[in-house]
Chains A and B, each alone.
Chain A
Amino acid sequence: MSDSLHWLVGQLAHLGLNYAFLLDAYASGKLLDGALTTLGLCLFSIVGSLLVGALLAAAVTSGQRWLAWPARAFIEVTRNTPTLVQLYCAFLVLNMLINQSLGSANPMIPFAWVVLVISLHKGAFHAEALRAGIEAVPAVTLEAASSLAFSRRQQLLQVQLPLAVRFALPALVNNLIDLVKMTAVASAIAVNDITYASIMIWTQGDNVIELMLLILAFFGLLSFAVNCIGRALEARLRMPGYGH
């Protein structure tokens, strides 16, 4: 492993790229830590955002005014404000207020704030994608379900959502790719993601190009993996004769 890394660093040095920091235990440890943190942020916020999205979509399409209106208001406010501003608001304002009232018992670490903010932000986008899917389910299908004595909840969970997910999947995967890239905002509040690790290394040395290429490649691969999983899921869920 270390031999092949040495070889790779040597080859890149011929191109004029100085990746010697990868051989330094501190810097490479920092980067590896950062990469794992980014993966963790992605996994937690993908799950979180999908949950938030499903709940919001269910609320918006419920037909109950007291549910639909607050959900719609939340989606509009969240969609129309920048993630970075929301993160600063949450971490520098809300977190300060929680700290002032709870002291050191505050359970929210910066990592958790990033997951929360991204989940809520992307959840609003998922909700819109899912709403499109839910509204695309033909009325006759729902009539058929209710004639079989499906309750409103059963209709949503067993008829509407499974079909809605198939419609919404391309848009959801699109949102998730955006989510992966969005995790870079974590660096703004000193969460040790890969962007933060890179900034900390390049502000101490002369490695901007090398680190930029490295994190571009890392995010590129990560987004590509999400894309591939999404495509595989689309193929797997494909129903002959239904919308394809």
Chain B
Amino acid sequence: MSLSTVARRGLFAALLATTGLAASGLAQADATLDKIQQRHKLAVGVVLSGGPFGAIDPNTREPIGFSVDLARDLARQLGVEVDLVAVQPANRVQFLQQGKVDLLIANMEWTPERDKLLGHVPTPFYRVGGTAALAKDSPVKTWADLKGQPVCTSQGSSYTQALIDLGADLKAFKTSAESLLALRGNNCVAAVHDATLINPLLAKGGEWSGYRALAPELKPAPSVIWTRLGETDTQQRLDPFVKQWHRSGWLIEREQANHITPASPALVELRAKLQGEGA
């Protein structure tokens, strides 16, 4: 990348200053931890689009889900309150870059492209790949069969590049909800999203009983907690928490409590690995 980061930041800062938002603008690398302590609040961006990772409880109107549990526990261990900010896949990076949230626990897997834009806590907390929801009688048997076919996904999906490389005719909707509706309206042959979103839907049956998932998972990648680029202090502060989650088996317990099926083999692997390292 040929961009001059200094000049870019300068322009960004100028833009923000003119709109009177300079104070909430690009935080310095080390400022985030101070900011969290000063405000006594940890702002975490989570995706609350339904499903076991993040949703709104219809009874209490409170956010619930795996990501929400993680965010709450981080705040608890930092000794501050949690401020859960609902983000969308299409805007989550901007929320983080512009300082509206301190961290993203937003179903956002590690990719080499994202690694250039943002920083992350080294230890992943999960591993997710993509799967395609297809009609049961669909002729598509492998990922390669999607070449030239209309495929629905959401804007900002982790699988965009992989689907373009497969030669699929990509139709990216605002969120996964519209993409899945478009699949049911026969506007595409498959809807590709995180397996953790699709599998529970298909398992629920009902209106999804006529659909099946495509195996193996597309581009499985580690889910990490994202920070702004270069915020190593924050990353180092949070990394032991994540490691401890694995060692104590807390993540596996939260996975069961949130009914995430099938259970991730990655959690078991990471637990065994970290328990070996620990002590």
A188 touches B11 (CB 8 A): no
Chain B residues bordering chain A, tally (CB within 8 A): 37
The residue of chain B having its C-beta at the shortest distance from the C-beta of A96 within the complex is B185
Across the interface, do B178 and A18 meet the contact criterion of CB distance under 8 Å? no
Q: Judge whether B156 and A18 touch: CB under 8 Å.
A: no
- Looking at the assembled complex, report how far the CB atom of B153 sits from the nearest CB atom of chain A, in whole angstroms: 9
| Residue from B116, B155, B172, B178 within 8 A of A88 (CB atoms) | B178
Q: How far is the CA of A14 from the CA of B3 in the complex (A)?
A: 9
In the bound complex, residues from chain A placing their C-beta under 8 Å from that of B157 are 203
User: In the complex, are the beta carbons of A13 and B3 less than 8 A apart?
Assistant: yes
> Of the candidates A16, A18, A196, A204, which one forms a contact with B160 in the assembled complex, judged by CB atoms under 8 Å apart?
A204
Could you say which residues of chain B place their CB within 8 Å of the CB of A39? none
Whole-angstrom distance between the Cβ of A170 and the nearest chain B Cβ? 32
Q: Is the CB–CB distance between B182 and A92 below 8 Å? A: yes
> Which residues from chain A contact B263 at a C-beta distance below 8 Å?
none
Count how many pairs of residues, one from A and one from B, have CB atoms less than 8 Å apart in the complex: 87
Candidate in A17, A188, A203, A205 with the most chain B CB atoms within 10 angstroms:
A203
Minimal Cβ-Cβ distance residue in B for A100? B186
Report whether A20 and B1 are in contact in the complex, using a CB–CB cutoff of 8 Å: yes
Q: Known contacts being A88-B178, A96-B185, A203-B156, is A18 close to B3, with CB within 8 Å?
A: yes
Q: When the two chains form the complex, which single residue of B181, B184, B187 contacts A110, counting CB atoms closer than 8 Å?
A: B187
Is A189 within 8 A of B173, CB to CB? Answer: yes
Those of A198-212 within 8 Å (CB) of chain B: 199-200, 203-206, 208-209
Interface residues of A in 97-111 (CB under 8 A from B): 99-100, 103-104, 110
In the assembled complex, the CB of B89 is this many whole angstroms from the nearest CB of chain A, namely 7
In angstroms, Cα B160 to Cα A100, docked, is: 28
Complex: chain A residue closest to B174, CB-CB: A188
A99 with B90: CB separation less than 8 A: no
Q: Which residues of A contact B3 (CB under 8 A)?
A: 13, 16, 18, 20, 206
In the assembled complex, which residues on chain B have CB atoms less than 8 Å from the CB atom of A103?
Answer: 186
Query: Is A214 in contact with chain B by the CB < 8 A criterion?
Result: no
Separation of A204 and B172 alpha carbons in the complex (Å):
13
Chain B residues near A20: list those with CB within 8 A. 1-3
* B94 beta carbon closer than 8 Å to chain A: yes
Within 8 A of A (CB), among B82-113: 89-90, 93-94, 113
Q: List residues of chain A with CB within 8 A of the CB of B187.
A: 91, 95, 99, 110
Which residues, 212 to 232 on A, are CB-close (under 8 Å) to B?
A: none
A15 touches B1 (CB 8 A): no
Q: What's the Cα separation between A190 and B160 when bound, in Å?
A: 13
Selected A-B contacts with CB under 8 Å, 5 pairs: A92-B181, A110-B187, A203-B160, A206-B1, A206-B116
A16-B6, A203-B93, A205-B117 given; 9 more Cβ-contact pairs under 8 Å: A16-B7, A16-B8, A16-B11, A17-B11, A96-B181, A96-B185, A200-B160, A206-B116, A209-B15
